[in-house]
Amino acid sequence: MTSEVKQLLKALQQRAEATIPRLVFPNTKQEEWKYTDPSALQSIRWQTALPQFESTVTPIPEAEFALVFANGTFIPDRSVVEPGELLVLGSVLTDNSSASLLSAHLGKYTDDWDMLSQINSSSCEDLSLIYVPQNYADGTIVALHYLNQGQHSASHPRCLVVLAPHSRLTIVEVHQGNEDVYWANPLTEIYVGEQAVLNHIIWQHQGLSAFHTQTTRVVQAKNSFYQLQTIDVGAQLSRHNLHVQLQGDATSTTLQGLVTIGANQTSDTYSTIVHSHPSGRSNQLHKCILRDHSHGVFSGQICVTKQGQLTDAQQMSRNLLLSPHARIDTKPQLQIVADNVKCAHGATVSQLDREEQFYLQSRGIDPVTATNLLTYAFAGEILQNIPIASVREAIVKLIFAQTIV
């Protein structure tokens, strides 16, 4: 029976329901929401989304596992799950063996004071779970496809990823949907065990009317390696709350974000890395390509506690404004208590280089292609690191197709 699992979920929900009344909905008076106004989210009466879908799943042939969710609900007959050593569950309700993992990790890494996570927890009837056993390092790729639609429908999918020591995995989340005004509020909790390696890709390609608020909570054990690439393309308003917490020495963390938006889109990345153990290395690069009246926001906290000696933390925010109406707010924040650390951060805002554009034109290349080529070049540094060829190529194509006028 799955009653133990159900009880754990119930406990999570109840805890959230008890907390929510004590929280205020995110608003621009809060420091964390200074640059992005989420009030539109509150003005809509959201309905629980039904598990329907029309969109086709973006194929990722390299992925051995593909979990498909329609408005947050797992769709088994669209999914590909290979039985084997790796535990990949689209729904934990189907497998009682997940209970011990859930009780060890579920809800342990989230922030009780964060409204969006609590909303996710309070509606958590089910979740997906990926568990990589010790020493399992086959280069396996797991794809999570989140399909969304439905006017005023809200979904709060949740996923728990646990890597046992010395294991290795690549996961790619794809969030997509149609032109309805829907809200996706996914939350992913990740535990990377000792010496484990996780490559994580989040490809946010929601419909242009959508709201996308995503929370990623990562905990890294000793000597572990976590690499995240986020590609933000869709949604009228997207917000990514990213939090990396260290639980051991000598961890390595690479965070790369690429935002490419236009029209009236807003994309806000709010990230925090807490170096609370010695000798951690983190490297963060966030790049925004902003067209039309779009608005990019990047707030990057790096906290180095007293225990975080010999931390090496690098952060860079680079922004390309392709329109005089586009706006960027970028705010790196270092809070360093330890005294023996190497930390650096920086931010740049630029426009396309006229001389480069002219150089390309003088070689017969029209201005639109020239702009796309230079934009692509700006993004290339991140794109070329995406470890899955089909995803990399699809995103490259997408960026080339975004013609600028």
Partner 1 sequence: MIVEDAITLLSVQDLTASVDGTQILKGVNLEVKSGEIHAIMGPNGSGKSTFSKILAGHPDYTVTGGTITFKGQNLLDWEPEIRAREGLFLAFQYPLEIPGVTNSEFLRISCNAVRKHRGLPELDLLDFGDLINEKLKVVDMNPSFLQRSVNEGFSGGEKKRNEIVQMAVMEPVLSILDETDSGLDIDALKIVSQGVNQLSNAHNATIVITHYQRLLNYIVPDFIHVMEGGKIILTGGKELALELESRGYDWLTEE
- Of the pair 68, 399, the CB lying nearest partner 1 is at 399
Q: Does 22 bind partner 1 (CB under 8 A)?
A: no
Pairwise CA distance, residues 151 & 149, whole Å: 7
Q: Does 367 bind partner 1 (CB under 8 A)?
A: yes
Q: Does 404 bind partner 1 (CB under 8 A)?
A: no
- Of the pair 4, 356, the CB lying nearest partner 1 is at 356
Cβ at position 363, least distance to partner 1 in Å = 4
Cβ at position 187, least distance to partner 1 in Å = 34
Residue 363 CB neighbours (<10 A) = 8
Report in angstroms the alpha-carbon separations of 108 from 20, 157, 160, 220, 262.
17, 17, 11, 13, 37
* Residue 141 near residue 171 (C-beta atoms within 8 A): yes
Q: Exactly one of 95, 112, 179, 381 binds partner 1 (CB under 8 A); which one?
A: 381
Q: Exactly one of 3, 7, 351, 361 binds partner 1 (CB under 8 A); which one?
A: 361
- Of the pair 80, 368, the CB lying nearest partner 1 is at 368
Residue whose pair of structure tokens reads 């929900």 in the numeric block: 13
Cβ at position 386, least distance to partner 1 in Å = 15
- Of the pair 57, 360, the CB lying nearest partner 1 is at 360
Q: Does 54 bind partner 1 (CB under 8 A)?
A: no
Which SS3 state, helix, strand or coil, does residue 21 take?
helix
- Tell me how many residues contact partner 1 (CB under 8 A): 22
* Edge-to-edge order in the sheet of strand 342-350: 73-74, 65-70, 141-148, 168-177, 197-205, 225-232, 252-261, 281-290, 312-321, 342-350
Q: Does 369 bind partner 1 (CB under 8 A)?
A: yes
Q: Does 398 bind partner 1 (CB under 8 A)?
A: no
* Residue 193 near residue 224 (C-beta atoms within 8 A): yes
Q: Does 364 bind partner 1 (CB under 8 A)?
A: yes
Residues 6+ apart with CB under 8 A from 362: none
Q: What binding mask, one character per residue, do residues 330-359 give for partner 1 by CB under 8 A, x or -?
A: ------------------------xxx-xx
Closest CA to 32 of 284, 250, 331, 282: 331
Q: Does 405 bind partner 1 (CB under 8 A)?
A: no
Dihedral pair phi/psi, residue 210, rounded to 5°? -80, 160
Closest CA to 220 of 196, 184, 246, 190: 246
Task: Select the span of 101-109, 140-148, 334-342, 374-382 touching partner 1 (CB under 8 A).
Answer: 374-382
Binding site for partner 1 (CB under 8 A): 354-356, 358-367, 369, 373-374, 376-381
